Amino acid sequence: MGKERGFLEYDRLDGPVRAPEERIRDFMEFHKPLPVEAQRKQAARCMDCGVPFCQNGSMIAGMASGCPLHNLVPEINDLVYRGRMEEAYRRLSVTHSFPEFTSRVCPALCEAACTCGLQGEPVSTKENERAVIEYAYAHDLVEEPVPAVRTGKKVAVIGSGPSGLAAAQLLCRRGHEVTVYERRDRVGGLLRYGIPNMKLDKRLIDRRVRLMEQAGVRFVVNADVGRDISAEELKKEYDGIILACGASNPRDISVPGRDAKGIFFAVDFLGRVTRALLDSDFQKAPVELAKGKDVIVIGGGDTGNDCVGTCIRLGARSVTQLEMMPKPPEKRLPSNPWPEWPRILKTDYGQEEAISRFGADPRVYQTTVKEFIKDAKGNLKGAVLVALEPKQDAKTGRMMMSQVEGTERKVNAQLVLIAAGFLGSESYVTQAFQVETDARTNVKTAWGQHASSQKGIYTAGDMHRGQSLVVWAISEGRSAAKELDRDLMGYTNL
């Protein structure tokens, strides 16, 4: 333990954030780091608990508690406090593939399970990790080692999101010849096109990919496996294949008027915005997509919040975010004790920006769309909203959100973004490889394993566990790589 009374002597202090009215003018990251000495004090707040739930990473009450990567958080915090940043990086790298990603986009499961947070503010582990990895890059410590000996085995990874990248990284380090196939024009998957640039600067992805390429990983873009490239062709060429294509089948809204022009799935919309920014080297934002429009975002999760922030930057006239469920409490309820994930109200950057721009929180709870309204040309011009209330289903006994008759109201809308989650993997990939799927269309495996029903075919990430977090995807990719390596070589040292 570094400073025995650090958690009593120092209050939590987060890095500075650009003001909403300033940051909505561009798509650049707006969270800034603390000075190194200030960050060391934040690391000094770590209590080095006897039972560090922060690194537990298990499921409690159906939700993750602590880091799924099992980063040895107290050890890293202690090294940061002592100013031994290179050692902190070495320690973090043992369990983590890409701290530069999670230290920006992860909801910090480690902090939610921090013992300091039981009575006060948790340790700022997420920002500590960001300080560590950025110090490492600044001092040329980050490298992808080129294997001294190659195994002669060839592995294909289908999908270049966080799980695919993590698997490719470890398999290359082991000495296998690794090729990553990506159906889009750039590497990164969800990291590239599912998360806005102000949340994760795309140059960070390019920075890591360059290192992986130098180590020998081969990336093939614009390669849609299952359509442009056959599964049989890959089976003949490679000794093992990992399917890491994500849970990219979006949940739709089936209501009258759904065919109106101006309704998009959220990830498609966010990807379109990011692609336009990248193609123009951030010189031109596609403002025509939302400028002067009344926008409705359907879905209250992270992707919905990203849509709110993006549309404000594109000049939307108004933004309304619909959430089916009731408004969460501001503090933990007795039924949601620590160290469970806190089911409490969270106001994220997009909502903060909407409050600054429009003067009100964009979220409307217990509400959904009953009908979309089109004009004579089929363009979206409005929507009928309806309130919801929880009711118990007579057959299943489950609580369901049901429409409340007489609460319908019309609102203007020229753009609707559906951020209602995902149903699972896309069928053309699973059918191409003839792998069994479960009831949620995810690739079916034995519990805690990654091998599919087809020999030599493995899976990882959202395609395996369903829609989840980047940190879980990285954990899955590392675990799948270890399993495949063991099966190829008879043992594994990953």
Question: Which residues pair with residue 416 across a beta bridge?
Answer: 263, 296
Q: How many CB atoms lie within 10 A of CB 448?
A: 7
Domains, the chain? 6-138 (1.10.1060.10), 154-248+423-489 (3.50.50.60), 252-420 (3.50.50.60)
Listed in order, strand segments (DSSP E) in 278-366 are 294-298, 318-323, 363-365
Q: What is the pLDDT of residue 165?
A: 98
d(CA 10, CA 360): 34
pTM over 0.75: yes
Q: What is the pLDDT of residue 255?
A: 97
Mean pLDDT by 10 residues, the chain (494 residues): 87 97 98 96 94 93 93 97 98 98 97 94 97 98 96 98 98 98 97 98 98 98 97 98 95 97 98 98 97 97 97 98 96 94 96 98 98 98 97 86 97 98 94 96 96 98 96 98 98 96
Interhelix angle 470-489/162-174, nearest 10 degrees: 30
Q: What is the pLDDT of residue 395?
A: 83
Q: What is the pLDDT of residue 328?
A: 96
Q: Give 284: exposed, middle or buried? Use CB within 10 Å, 0-12, 13-18, 19+.
A: exposed
Q: Give 446: exposed, middle or buried? Use CB within 10 Å, 0-12, 13-18, 19+.
A: exposed
| Whether 122 contacts 114, CB under 8 Å | yes
Q: Give 97: exposed, middle or buried? Use CB within 10 Å, 0-12, 13-18, 19+.
A: buried
- DSSP for 61-74 reads TTEEES-TT---HH
Q: What is the pLDDT of residue 353?
A: 98
